[in-house]
Structure 1
């Protein structure tokens, strides 16, 4: 229903795709058409040479006149990766909608090329590519199993050639735009991924060694998980023996059969981290997005939801910007929207990262968007006029001289509470009520969680309690809606100085 609703919104018509040919086979299909773009078939090289006609389906933008782009006019190429629904037409359309918001008259469909590759799966058979009940896929169209495309796994079809990683596809698209004989005025390539596309963009940046004369930025927006670049995790892995298997780590590739990046992985995590940190990463974080779509245990060792995972990740592998005009200046943007790629692309931060940064090849880029910042190390390219903006926090002093000490996890509330005593569960709970009650009962630390609960103790259980970002403790206190009373298994904590741990 969601897919049909979006197609209806775009007023797409289902017609046989008779699109521009870019050396790949024309794949007979019934794909939606959108204005300002067409379906284009790209040939992807087979790493083994078994099939020289492997074909990737794409949505490729037109110029302002509705005709095919003039390559010599293009100054920027955007490779936008779809999400779980595999709807490249929507992502192409959303990117082009955002492009229309740019106020610089030189930045438009004549100077910006937008391509949205289609990583088809078995759910797209008979729709995106022909299918036979006896033969399976019957063309050279590249097809992946499930969502394995999001992590670089090798293709499933065509059966005669199953050694092409989805990351090889991104390499090929970069090579295409980096060809100065075809795009002589190209200044910037931007790989854009949101949600599952953001997962792909992050993992590709870790493993790719693709060389490009044109600067490449990897825009990573609101992924549900990250490939962790060390063997430790911020939260417990005790109940998740597979926590470090790929695509959450790099210990085992059984679930994602691939050969891409194998030599790099064999050199160890330090090499992977160095390779990742050599890339220009633009993080986009929707501050209203606290969702979670995990279907295995591994992501929960890196955070409760998308929001917490993001903050733990950049805390562990800090973004940096040593040279703002260079090719690996990271940025971190906070955007006050929900989990919506269209809103992300069309925001001021989205317009900067997707379209205007380095458009003229002068290295010029916008400062980090979104102040006040939310944790130490999250401002690699700070705006000097805003960098000292204090965060909105609780500066009150409560009973017993207790003061706010941040948001902490409570990982094992059933067996190992972060604080040992649940003093009450009260539908009139406030910070004042809990701190006063804990001090009155002789305790030195108080914590409120899940709006109504008040916990007390003298030390934090270090097995269960880990400091996290304040935005994980944003549930309103039922007795005072102007205050926050923790989160789900997350404590707003109060003590006289930094809390003791045991």
Structure 2
């Protein structure tokens, strides 16, 4: 609950837009069966095909007017609330999206028009299943995925998705899209218990194996920034101890700050990033000076042969070569000690644990397979000592004497 009693229903306006699709026939809009194809919708209600509203596509119905982008609707809502004749005391406008709504706003940040508003606009983006990448590069290899760069995951075939909004910007290329994205003020929110994946195509898998990894990979390649905390282009990143639950995200201290109290009085104030310790470099654009040095739970121990923990890495086999060449064993009594000593005794310089039970060894790490990922992806307890972590699903807890060599 917000402690400031000035933040109340009389001082805060909340609107929830509704983007109906085919699942809402007869409830969200009138529908008559037995009509010609595309004529069943009998009103002027704007209706979208499937989930295309979440990426800014034009409406499907009414059949005689199919040129309204869902992003144009967002533009109009912002303009409405920014109208000082209607809301003379407006200090800040927040567009908030969780899950598919978060996906909507991330893509809106990329292609959305730069609106000349009097009130600062913040996009609160939480727990999307995938993101539109701002480059052609992807960190992970996925076989037989020729559409990996198509819109909504990239910006190829943008118009073919049903887009007219943003088409001129996209035609200018990725540099223009990224510059537009960087000009937007985004309050990122990540639920640290959320490792789900509801993606329906192969494309999101090129950016991570689940929501968590996709978020942190996006943060790694397109780092948020806050050059001026009192300005109108300060990103924040909040880490919340919650599952994939919009209510818990909204009601967290971070959610209440971003949705209600940041800049409430028009004094340009905002809370520092929430959630420490941080998870990877670059995920703390507006650090809390009292918490920024909070140590994480990294393994600082030294094992056989002087091996120390070097982070959590992907293993993309069989699409690529194994990250480490030799499977020493697959055993339900696996521990860090048995794996590291086993590899050293077998003459290897690098040891890695994956899938809880597997111990891998090698002298070099395959650069085609191994990408450093966020430590949270290595979350499988070692069966021989559950206080230790032995990698994750196709993710390696890697140990070597210094930074490993790659081939």
Structure 2 residue 122 is matched with structure 1 residue 122: no
Aligned to 2:240: 335
- Whichever structure has more strand as a proportion of its residues is 1
Aligned to 2:365: 460
Q: Residues of 1 paired with 2:160 and 2:18: CA distance?
A: 22
Write the mapping of 1:168-247 to structure 2, written as runs, cut at 5 A: 168-209=72-113, 210-247=115-152
Which digits, 9 at most, give the CA deviation of each residue in 1:271-303, with x for residues without a partner? 111111111100000000011011111111111
Q: Residues of 2 paired with 1:345 and 1:202: CA distance?
A: 18
1:237 CA drift (Å): 4.8
Q: Residues of 2 paired with 1:341 and 1:415: CA distance?
A: 37
Note closer, same or farther for the CA distance 1:254–1:185 as it changes in structure 2 (3 Å cut).
Answer: closer
Which digits, 9 at most, give the CA deviation of each residue in 1:451-486, with x for residues without a partner? 000010000111111111100001111111111111
1:413 CA drift (Å): 4.0
Contact 1:335 1:347 (8 Å CA) reproduced: yes
Which digits, 9 at most, give the CA deviation of each residue in 1:236-262, with x for residues without a partner? 255321111000001112652110001
Contact 2:159 2:167 (8 Å CA) reproduced: no
Which digits, 9 at most, give the CA deviation of each residue in 1:188-233, with x for residues without a partner? 0000000000000100011111322210000110000000001111
Q: Residues of 1 paired with 2:326 and 2:320: CA distance?
A: 12
Contact 2:220 2:282 (8 Å CA) reproduced: yes
TM-score (norm 1): 0.79
Contact 2:143 2:319 (8 Å CA) reproduced: no
Aligned counterpart in structure 1 of residue 9 of structure 2, from 106, 109, 131: 109
Aligned to 1:65: none
1:161 CA drift (Å): 0.3
Write the mapping of 1:278-297 to structure 2, written as runs, cut at 5 A: 278-297=183-202
Q: Residues of 2 paired with 1:166 and 1:244: CA distance?
A: 22
Which digits, 9 at most, give the CA deviation of each residue in 1:405-456, with x for residues without a partner? 0000001147611111111111011111110111111111000001000010
Q: Residues of 2 paired with 1:342 and 1:353: CA distance?
A: 14
Aligned to 1:15: none
Structure 2 residue 394 is matched with structure 1 residue 394: no
Unmatched tracts of structure 2, length 5 or more: none
Aligned to 1:159: 63
Aligned counterpart in structure 2 of residue 476 of structure 1, from 381, 393, 406: 381
Tell me how large the CA RMSD over aligned residues is: 1.0
Unmatched tracts of structure 1, length 5 or more: 1-100
SS in 2 for 1:248: coil
Contact 2:142 2:319 (8 Å CA) reproduced: no
Write the mapping of 1:299-338 to structure 2, written as runs, cut at 5 A: 299-338=204-243
Contact 1:413 1:489 (8 Å CA) reproduced: no
SS in 1 for 2:16: strand
Count of matched residue positions in the alignment of Structure 1 and Structure 2: 402
SS in 1 for 2:238: strand
Aligned to 1:369: 274
SS in 2 for 1:314: helix
Which digits, 9 at most, give the CA deviation of each residue in 1:128-153, with x for residues without a partner? 11100124111111100000000000
Q: Residues of 2 paired with 1:433 and 1:220: CA distance?
A: 43
Structure 1 runs of 4+ with >6 Å offset? none
Q: Residues of 2 paired with 1:123 and 1:255: CA distance?
A: 23
Q: Residues of 1 paired with 2:43 and 2:305: CA distance?
A: 73
TM-score (norm 2): 0.97
Aligned counterpart in structure 1 of residue 392 of structure 2, from 480, 487, 493: 487
Q: Residues of 1 paired with 2:144 and 2:334: CA distance?
A: 32
